[in-house]
Amino acid sequence: KAGVTQTPRYLIKTRGQQVTLSCSPISGHRSVSWYQQTPGQGLQFLFEYFSETQRNKGNFPGRFSGRQFSNSRSEMNVSTLELGDSALYLCASSRQGFGEKLFFGSGTQLSVL
């Protein structure tokens, strides 16, 4: 069974650009959540999607957005990139998202220059 797949693995952008990251969950998993990991702030929750609906959202500005498709694949978008957006972005999936084990992907390392 394939694990959680995130693409691309690495990304370099410049300030002001926008970026889209992709996450394919484990087959049968309907919940997808996103986390940002930085050395300073650690791991922070961005948002969670379940059956194409955003179910929960962390404390991030509106420049961070996401969506989920009918096949449970999810994308997150960051507009007007800032230097502080440089981070590892991790995606995690689970069947229902209720206290279950989360399975993480290997992340997308975003560098903003």
Partner 1 sequence: AQTVTQSQPEMSVQEAETVTLSCTYDTSESDYYLFWYKQPPSRQMILVIRQEAYKQQNATENRFSVNFQKAAKSFSLKISDSQLGDAAMYFCAYRTNYGGSQGNLIFGKGTKLSVKP
For residue 95, the tally of other CB atoms under 10 A from its CB is 14
Q: Provide the 8-state DSSP code for 95.
A: S
Residue 107 is a binding residue for partner 1 (CB under 8 A): yes
Establish if 106 lies at the interface with partner 1 (CB under 8 A).
Answer: yes
Name the pairing type of β-strands 10-13 and 108-112. parallel
CB 23 within 8 A of CB 35: no
Backbone angles phi, psi at 66, to 5 degrees: -150, 175
Is 68 a residue that touches partner 1 (CB under 8 A)? no
Smallest distance from partner 1 to CB 2, Å: 13
Q: Which one of 15-23, 55-63, 70-78, 79-87 is the stretch in contact with partner 1 (CB under 8 A)? A: 55-63
Binding footprint of partner 1, residue count (CB under 8 A): 26
110 scored as a contact of partner 1 (CB under 8 A): no
